[in-house]
Amino acid sequence: MNSARITLVTLGVADVARSVAFYAALGWKKSSDSVERTAFMIGEGVVLALWNRDDMIADGGEGELASGSGSMALAVNFDGPEAVDAFYGRAVEAGADPVKPPSKVFWGGYSGNFRDLDGHLWEVAHNPFWRLDEAGRVDLAEAS
Amino acid sequence: MNSARITLVTLGVADVARSVAFYAALGWKKSSDSVERTAFMIGEGVVLALWNRDDMIADGGEGELASGSGSMALAVNFDGPEAVDAFYGRAVEAGADPVKPPSKVFWGGYSGNFRDLDGHLWEVAHNPFWRLDEAGRVDLAEAS
């Protein structure tokens, strides 16, 4: 088993039910492994955990956590600009803050940024230089 | 293609080369698709992008980004406590801040938290109630 993995991304959220509805609108399915204060959302590959932020702070042992996602962002890549626009539109319709609507960007792709209901930053992108496999995973070459 | 995916997690970092060394110590491989100010690190499933934080701020169009990872955390799950200890130990040896060394936790598992060189929060966990597939992905049941 490769240890270089991310199995789960946890978002601290103010209202778990509200965030479940938001991510369900974007295609995630709620797992039956969910509990009252933490919903585990099933997507491709990585589990998205929506955790009550107060509990996340209490568990961490550091006394506080800043809101939002600091200098961290999640991204979903698509195989064309139309799919980027569609996903971005669904997010905004579900209540996301449209930080930067999709447009052509300097590196040759097409991307936009939004923040979810708790300020977590997402990028929605099409990179014409990258290949996505059937499951939608980015297929990158290892450096020699 | 399932749109409910995370294809990439981006970490804004102060020194890309330093962070490449840190994540390489944990098993990630640098992709040849990397560029000077952004390294794309290959692990299982999700690409880990290490992006110069100043560039990330400039690209986002919001003027500033808080440091660290706010109320967001990455997690890697293993199939036993020994593997948790081993990964945690490698991270600390590579320079991580040992926020909460692995221990038995209230939900019945075994986990610890560290922060990487730029304050991004990671959880290293063993959850005895979860099954990992051969690729190390969490296999959760969909809610009915």
- Which pLDDT score, from 0 to 100, does residue A17 have? 92
| Average pLDDT estimate for A26-54 | 88
- Residue B101 three-state SS: strand
Say which residue the tokens 């991004």 belong to.
Answer: B120
- Which pLDDT score, from 0 to 100, does residue A144 have? 63
Question: With an 8 Å Cβ cutoff, is B14 touching chain A?
Answer: no
Say which residue the tokens 């107060």 belong to.
Answer: A54
Amino acid type, A53: R
Angle (nearest 5°) at CA B30 between B39 and B68: 45
Name which residue leads in pLDDT, A113 or B34: A113
CB B3 within 8 A of CB A26: yes
CB B42 within 8 A of CB A142: yes
Instruction: Give the residue among A45, A19, A21, A50 at the shortest CA–CA distance from A34.
Output: A50
pLDDT at A126 over 80: yes
CB A48 within 8 A of CB B6: yes
Band the pLDDT of A141: cuts 50, 70, 90: confident
Q: For residue A14, what are the CA distances in angstroms to A92, A99, A106, A118, B75? A: 19, 20, 35, 7, 20
**CB-facing half-sphere around the CA of B122: CA atoms within 13 A:** 27
| Average pLDDT estimate for A126-142 | 84
- Which pLDDT score, from 0 to 100, does residue B83 have? 93
Instruction: List every span in chain B annotated with CATH 3.10.180.10.
Output: 1-63, 66-133
Angle (nearest 5°) at CA A45 between A42 and A49: 45
Sheet holding A8-13, edge to edge: A29-30, A38-42, A47-52, A8-13, B72-78, B121-126, B110-115, B97-104
- Taking an 8 Å cut-off on Cβ atoms, the answer to whether A2 and B30 are in contact is no
Instruction: Give the residue among A126, A62, A129 at the shortest CA–CA distance from B73.
Output: A62
Contacts of B48 in chain A (CB under 8 A): 6
- Which pLDDT score, from 0 to 100, does residue B144 have? 64
- Which pLDDT score, from 0 to 100, does residue A142 have? 77
**CA dihedral (A20, B7, B121, B27) positive or negative:** positive
Mean pLDDT of chain A: 89
- Which pLDDT score, from 0 to 100, does residue A83 have? 93
Q: What is the DSSP letter of B117?
A: T
- Which pLDDT score, from 0 to 100, does residue B143 have? 72
pLDDT tens per residue, range A41-77: 888 778 899 999 988 998 888 889 999 999 999 999 9
Nearest CA in chain A to B106: A59
Report the distance separating Cα B136 and Cα B54, nearest Å: 33
Q: How close A111 gets to chain B, by Cα (Å)?
A: 11
Amino acid type, B60: G
- Which pLDDT score, from 0 to 100, does residue A132 have? 86
- Residue A81 three-state SS: helix
CATH superfamily ID and name for B1-63: 2,3-Dihydroxybiphenyl 1,2-Dioxygenase, domain 1 (3.10.180.10)
pLDDT tens per residue, range A91-108: 999 999 999 999 999 889
- Which pLDDT score, from 0 to 100, does residue A46 have? 85
Residues above pLDDT 70, as percent of chain B: 97
- Which pLDDT score, from 0 to 100, does residue A1 have? 61
Low-confidence ranges of chain B (pLDDT < 50): none
Token digits of residue B33: 């698709």
Instruction: List every span in chain A annotated with CATH 3.10.180.10.
Output: 1-65, 66-134
Range 60-119 of A in CB contact (< 8 A) with B: 60-62, 65-79, 83, 87, 99-100, 105, 113, 118-119
pTM of the model: 0.89
In CATH, the number for domain A66-134 is 3.10.180.10
Report the distance separating Cα A72 and Cα B71, nearest Å: 10
| Average pLDDT estimate for A5-17 | 88
Nearest to B77 among A8, A73, A75 (CB): A8
Report the distance separating Cα A115 and Cα A103, nearest Å: 16
For A116, residues 6+ apart whose C-beta sits below 8 A from its C-beta are: A11, A19, A22, A91, A96, A97, A122
CATH topology for A1-65 is 2,3-Dihydroxybiphenyl 1,2-Dioxygenase; domain 1 (3.10.180)
How many Å from the N-terminal Cα to the C-terminal Cα in chain A? 22
Does domain B66-133 sit in CATH 3.10.180.10?
yes
Nearest to A30 among B31, B132, B143 (CB): B143
